[in-house]
Amino acid sequence: MYVYDQIDQRLVDQRVAQFRDQTQRFMAGKLSEEEFRALRLRNGLYIQRYAPMLRIAIPYGLLSSRQLRKLAQIARKYDRAYGHFSTRQNLQLNWPRLEQVPEILAELAGVQMHAIQTSGNCIRNITTDHFAGVAPDEIVDSFVWCEIIRQWSTFHPEFSYLPRKFKIAVNGAERDRTATFVHDIGLHALRNEAGEVGFRVIVGGGLGRTPLVGHVIREFLPWPHLLTYLDAILRVYNRYGRRDNIHKARIKILLKERGADRFREEVEAEWAHVKDGAGTLNDDDVRRIEARFVRPQHEKLQPVEPIGGPGFAAWAKRNVHGHKVPGYAAVTLSLKKTGVPPGDVTSDQMEAIADLAERYSFGELRVSHEQNLILADMRQADLPALWREARELGLATPNIGLLTNIIACPGGDFCALANAKSIPVAQAIQERFDDLDYLHDIGELDLNISGCMNACGHHHVGHIGILGVDKNGEEWYQVEIGGNQGKTRAGRTPTGEASPGAALGKVIGPSFARADVPAVIEKLIACYLERRDSEAERFVDVVHRIGIEPFKESVYGNAHQRAASRSRARALA
């Protein structure tokens, strides 16, 4: 856990004072709607469909029991006693009152938390691997680098009024669990032949209405240059990113319009000026940040194979993950129980989870971008006991990596931007696929739902992605297949190649009414099961091997049948 020093604390306190003043000036008519909008957004405050929405930062997804208890209290006192964990590892409250937000921020500051830069056209919360620091395939502990970047980006004087929002992800392990290829900047740590740490720099990926896979603009950036190189990228973007059209303002469009090569040249030219300047990092800088993290003190343990019956075994198979220290494991507490909106937790659950983390996992938790919570430092011997308690709390659904571990945005139930609801679709699918044996047989499958093309539910990188669209005021759903968030799992194609890296899904055809969506998913799954070579070949692997046409046929009929149905429709019209 990162522990604030006096400077960190003073800055969040001063931020509260600043926002209190801005809110008062707005309510007194001294700030216009538009001016206040730019200011409230960078404190995470949206005006939503029914009420404001407040997005609280959970820097790189790391949270203490004490902080989670505070979030539970805040949700109870200022909201409706629940919160929503988002795909960017933050927590959203859906019903706070505008005039109370400064109070909420003050309470957060009391537990070293804030809502700084969780929205607005600035550098957002830095996201990372939810197994940082414990992953067996770790290259570096990405938390340290995230914190270095967090400090650099917080109140950055030059880059606080960018053309558009800016998202940076840092991956410190071999496998990419942070979707670095679909961020404005993705940084993937690696070691060169001399064993020195550096970063592969990926720029210009993103989802939203123009989904694009990022470009590697530098294969190896030695770590001392991390911040000066970020300065160079951001300066090029701040100066030349489009500001005439909000839909073309992300850095991915700048890269697309200029071409990755020209963009790289511009960044390198800018970097030549700032390289080795004051922003250059040295060992002391890194050690100073490292020293502010309080680390779990692991015991010397023998690995154990915990026994707990069939229910436990199914859970352990899906929700327990490897750990670099013998005798320990990481556990996912699933927030994807059927009937509960994905990522939602009640205040009571938050408090219970805080207790679990305290008793079993050094009082720390992580939020995953798949909207679950992780206890990262569990003794293997404690797993059966934890499982029993988590099951009581409704947090032990054994579905991590499976179809019902659905990522979904809040959708039309809450969000002013949404074209369609997401949550009822997620529930209908979860209900349709409620047979656990069948789910396990289907195997690893990411199903992501967004209520509009802003793609907060990351539908483009779901193996199956569902997008809510508006057709003459009615809610319809478009289905994509073949997306992939990165080299997240050790899947192999039949020819033995590693599974594809980040990929964007392809739309299978015309959209569906909400009631038809579960049946469509069933047809896609049936098609997959029929055509897979073995259980090791995942849904997404089959789509990449045989293309989308067979899947399309399974849903809409073959080309001949489709033409016949079109002409029938025309004749009836």
Residues within the interface to other proteins (CB under 8 A): 7, 10-11, 14-15, 18, 22, 30-31, 34-35, 38-39, 121, 151-152, 154-162, 227-228, 231, 235, 238-239, 243, 273-274, 277-279
Residue ranges of the alpha helices (H) in 208-282? 226-240, 251-258, 260-274
Of the candidates 465, 475, 461, which has an alpha carbon nearest to the alpha carbon of residue 413? 475
Residue type, 295: R
In angstroms, give the least distance from the CB of 285 to other proteins: 9
In angstroms, give the least distance from the CB of 440 to other proteins: 47
238 is written with which tokens? 């701040």
CA distance 371 to 423: 14
In angstroms, give the least distance from the CB of 282 to other proteins: 11
Using the minimum distance from each CB to other proteins, give the nearer residue, 227 or 340. Answer: 227
Using the minimum distance from each CB to other proteins, give the nearer residue, 73 or 151. Answer: 151
Using the minimum distance from each CB to other proteins, give the nearer residue, 74 or 109. Answer: 109
Using the minimum distance from each CB to other proteins, give the nearer residue, 227 or 525. Answer: 227
Check if the beta carbon of residue 399 is closer than 8 Å to that of residue 342.
no
Using the minimum distance from each CB to other proteins, give the nearer residue, 200 or 275. Answer: 275
CB under 8 Å to 516, separation ≥6 — which residues?
Answer: none
Check if the beta carbon of residue 464 is closer than 8 Å to that of residue 521.
yes
Check if the beta carbon of residue 298 is closer than 8 Å to that of residue 328.
yes
CB under 8 Å to 534, separation ≥6 — which residues?
Answer: 494
191 is written with which tokens? 């070691």
Give the Å distances, CA to CA, from 45 to 11, 17, 78, 85, 361. 19, 16, 14, 16, 32
In angstroms, give the least distance from the CB of 188 to other proteins: 24
Using the minimum distance from each CB to other proteins, give the nearer residue, 239 or 568. Answer: 239
Using the minimum distance from each CB to other proteins, give the nearer residue, 36 or 387. Answer: 36
In angstroms, give the least distance from the CB of 286 to other proteins: 14
Check if the beta carbon of residue 172 is closer than 8 Å to that of residue 138.
yes
In angstroms, give the least distance from the CB of 114 to other proteins: 13
Residue 296 is given by DSSP the state P
CA distance 80 to 82: 6
What sign does the dihedral 373-375-380-383 (CA atoms) show? negative
Residue 394 is given by DSSP the state T
CA distance 59 to 1: 11
Using the minimum distance from each CB to other proteins, give the nearer residue, 129 or 231. Answer: 231
In angstroms, give the least distance from the CB of 21 to other proteins: 9
Check if the beta carbon of residue 115 is closer than 8 Å to that of residue 56.
yes
Using the minimum distance from each CB to other proteins, give the nearer residue, 59 or 491. Answer: 59
Q: What's 453-491 look like in SS3?
A: CCCCCCHHHCCEEEEEEEECCEEEEEEEECCECCCCCCC
Check if the beta carbon of residue 388 is closer than 8 Å to that of residue 324.
no
Using the minimum distance from each CB to other proteins, give the nearer residue, 152 or 362. Answer: 152
Using the minimum distance from each CB to other proteins, give the nearer residue, 283 or 305. Answer: 283
In angstroms, give the least distance from the CB of 119 to other proteins: 13
CA distance 31 to 24: 9
In angstroms, give the least distance from the CB of 113 to other proteins: 17
Cα atoms in the 13 Å half-sphere on the side-chain side of 340: 21
In angstroms, give the least distance from the CB of 230 to other proteins: 11
Cα atoms in the 13 Å half-sphere on the side-chain side of 515: 1
In angstroms, give the least distance from the CB of 287 to other proteins: 16
